[in-house]
Amino acid sequence: MANSLFLTAVPAIFLLLQIPATLILLKRLSTARDRNPPLQPLASDPQSITPQVSIVIPTLNEIERLPTCLEGLRHQAAREIIVVDSRSQDGTPEYVQKLQKEFPIPLKLVTDDPLPEGWVGRPWALHNGFLQSDPSSEWILGIDADTVPQHGLVASFVQQATIDGFDIVSLSPKFILKTAGEQWLQPALLITLIYRFGATGDRSQFTEDRVMANGQCFLSKRAKLVELNGYELAKSSFCDDVTLARAAAQRGAKVGFLDGAALMQVRMYTSMAETWREWGRSLDLKDASTPSQTLGDCLLLTAVQGLPLPILLTLLLWQYVALLPMSLAMNIWLWLNAFLVLIRVLLVFGIRGSYTDVGFGFWLSPLADPFAVFRIWLSASSKPKSWRGRTYD
């Protein structure tokens, strides 16, 4: 009797969580075919776009990554490039000063003031860059130093933003992963975003408080930033991009998130450990979400990404190795989790275009799903104490 109750009750409890979560996931994935197509570089940069854009790059000890970024911006359609340096000690400002005379686009170096109370370093640097930008620029484009801009990025981005009437819009990149550990863990972390918010460019998913954004390439109308008082609304956020985008959407701004894999590449982190530590502690997006949204996202990820593979393997061992009896509920449970694992395997092929090169670690990334979900739970339950070389109280 007790054994029969166990065979029915345990699967039923999990199914109560997993079935609704699966339906939510299927709804989010079903609209991917209707998303905006990936942006493509323009064959030439229209001169009409050139004076409209001020590019802001926040830096703190970025000497190893900034040269590649600036090289990619050398022939972009922009009025000016503003490097906002937060007192780097690795030669970053000296490098920018050397480039200023020969750079084809006006290149400004700004040292931001000491971090005020309540501000996080990145939004403070971006805020200072906005304040120092040319008032005649119609657009402010924030770009991270670890990005590799491709030819035609700015022209294509601004043109699409103008056509669609966006006030704020950002791009998803193509990721550069070099080690097997990165290729194993990073796609699993990326999938947590797709499961929560759908495919990049799919605007049918988003309500004002569920907008997605990527600060690595973040374009804003200058007039909208003036209205929002720059980055003030995201000053204390460790995911300032999403926080600002959602705050703007809630105030009536038209916000977009587009596929920019053909326009920019990014080498975010250099190892699996750094990916786990740095990206993992902001990926929960709790600074831009209510506690109930954060909890709901964690439960959803647990149900459809973290649990399916362990449950499937356990039930297969139960049935075919231990030769133990399976109740109807257990069989339903097995097939549901097999279906969820199949979805995840298919998504490996679906996100292949978001990476430059992949190895065996990438194709084995579904095995990292339980760890990725665990990392989201860890991040959601704590506040970062340090970020990009700064320590916060």
Residue 174 included in any domain:
yes
Question: Could you tell me if 276 and 162 are in contact, meaning their C-beta atoms sit under 8 angstroms apart?
Answer: no
- Name beta bridge partners: 231: none
The stretch 31-60 carries a mean pLDDT of 76
Beta pairing class for 80-85 and 390-391: unpaired
Q: Are residues 117 and 71 in the same domain?
A: yes
State the alpha helices, DSSP H only, in the chain.
Answer: 2-30, 66-73, 92-100, 121-132, 153-164, 180-197, 222-227, 240-250, 272-274, 291-301, 308-316, 328-350, 360-363, 369-380
Classify residue 291 as exposed, middle or buried by CB count within 10 Å of its CB (0-12, 13-18, 19+): exposed
Residue 227 included in any domain:
yes
pLDDT band at 30 (very low <50, low <70, confident <90, very high): confident
Q: Are residues 15 and 79 in the same domain?
A: no
What count of other Cβ atoms lies within 10 Å of the Cβ of residue 227? 14
Tell me the CATH number at 211.
Answer: 3.90.550.10
Q: How many domains does the chain have?
A: 2
Q: Are residues 256 and 364 in the same domain?
A: no
pLDDT tops 90 at residue 210? no
The stretch 316-334 carries a mean pLDDT of 86
Handedness of CA 20, 25, 28, 29 (dihedral sign): negative
Rounded to 10 degrees, the C-alpha dihedral 86/91/93/97 comes to 180
Residue at a domain's end among 271, 301, 316: 271
The stretch 36-61 carries a mean pLDDT of 77
Residue at a domain's end among 211, 239, 271: 271
Question: Could you tell me if 197 and 206 are in contact, meaning their C-beta atoms sit under 8 angstroms apart?
Answer: yes
Residue 281 included in any domain:
no
pLDDT tens column, 107-128 = 999 998 888 888 988 999 999 9
Residue 193 included in any domain:
no
Q: Are residues 152 and 120 in the same domain?
A: yes
pLDDT tops 60 at residue 205? no
**Which range marks the domain in which residue 155 is found?**
50-179+198-271
pLDDT tens column, 239-289 = 999 999 999 999 999 999 999 999 999 998 989 999 998 888 888 888 888
pTM above 0.85, yes or no: yes
pLDDT given at position 109: 94
Considering only the C-alpha atoms of the chain, give the largest distance between any 2 of them, rounded to a whole number of Å: 83
Classify residue 387 as exposed, middle or buried by CB count within 10 Å of its CB (0-12, 13-18, 19+): middle
Q: Are residues 15 and 112 in the same domain?
A: no
H or E element at residue 271: none
Q: Which two tokens stand for residue 124?
A: 């403070």
Residue 43 included in any domain:
no
pLDDT tops 60 at residue 44? no
pLDDT band at 2 (very low <50, low <70, confident <90, very high): very low
CA distance 187 to 195: 12
Q: Are residues 251 and 356 in the same domain?
A: no
CA distance 126 to 230: 8
pLDDT given at position 89: 87
pLDDT tops 80 at residue 35? no
Q: Are residues 267 and 311 in the same domain?
A: no
Q: Are residues 59 and 158 in the same domain?
A: yes
pLDDT given at position 324: 78
pLDDT tens column, 59-117 = 988 999 999 999 999 988 899 999 999 888 888 999 999 999 899 999 999 998 888 88
Q: Are residues 8 and 156 in the same domain?
A: no
Q: Are residues 231 and 301 in the same domain?
A: no
pLDDT given at position 200: 76
Residue 58 included in any domain:
yes
CA distance 348 to 344: 7
Tell me the average pLDDT of the chain: 89
pLDDT band at 1 (very low <50, low <70, confident <90, very high): very low
Q: Are residues 129 and 171 in the same domain?
A: yes
Residue 287 included in any domain:
no
CA distance 51 to 378: 45
Q: Are residues 79 and 12 in the same domain?
A: no
Residue 186 included in any domain:
no
CA distance 269 to 146: 9
